Chain A
């Protein structure tokens, strides 16, 4: 079935460092791809998405490009802040009718001053 694999954490970076969190997917066709973020003690919220190949999703300084050649959707940010400390999830629709969203296992990011 359709699935995503994302890099295991935890990831610890200093403030202003460059961030990459890898995500690769397995799917039939070209589904929309998503990054969700979960701040401590909260539910998940959508960070960005891309709906077709070569699309770039962006939000709050984060970017991810939908690359069908490498079946990847890596999350990047040029300069992380302490407030970016959270768990990040890659996700794609799955199941009959694409009603379900399948999540990766999550990557915990800690940014230290």
Chain B
């Protein structure tokens, strides 16, 4: 029962470096999401996907890119990392749009120095 799996759990980047946060789900969910969580600010949606080959911007997409080549995988790419991207990132999936339930991964803590 893996659910939603994110890697890595922790990462430190230098300003200007790039990296990809991996997310995979084994529940055959069509909908997948990337959120970032900053202290006292709740969660902000970065990007989402309603199915393979379809992605769209959320509330805070600048500095990020995504792709969805398969139903299972939804990687988040950070280009030219900046200190403002220091955050905890959560990937989530759902079977359908709401009222469906969101299933979250355990999070990836990224620090940009």
Contact = CB atoms under 8 A, between A and B. Distances in A.
A39 to B, nearest CB: 11
Interface stretch (A14-22, A68-76, A77-85, A97-105): A97-105
Interface string B28-68: 00010100000011110100101000001011000000000
B43 A103 contact: yes
A51 interface: yes
A43 B106 contact: yes
A99 B103 CA distance: 14
A99 B31 contact: yes
Given A43-B90, A106-B42, A98 B98 contact: yes
A46 interface: yes
B104 interface: yes
A101 B97 CA distance: 9
B75 interface: no
Interface string A93-113: 100011111111110000000
Contacts of B105: 43
A53 to B, nearest CB: 14
A61 B56 CA distance: 37
A86 to B, nearest CB: 13
Interface of B: 4, 31, 33, 40-43, 45, 48, 50, 56, 58-59, 90, 92, 97-99, 101-107
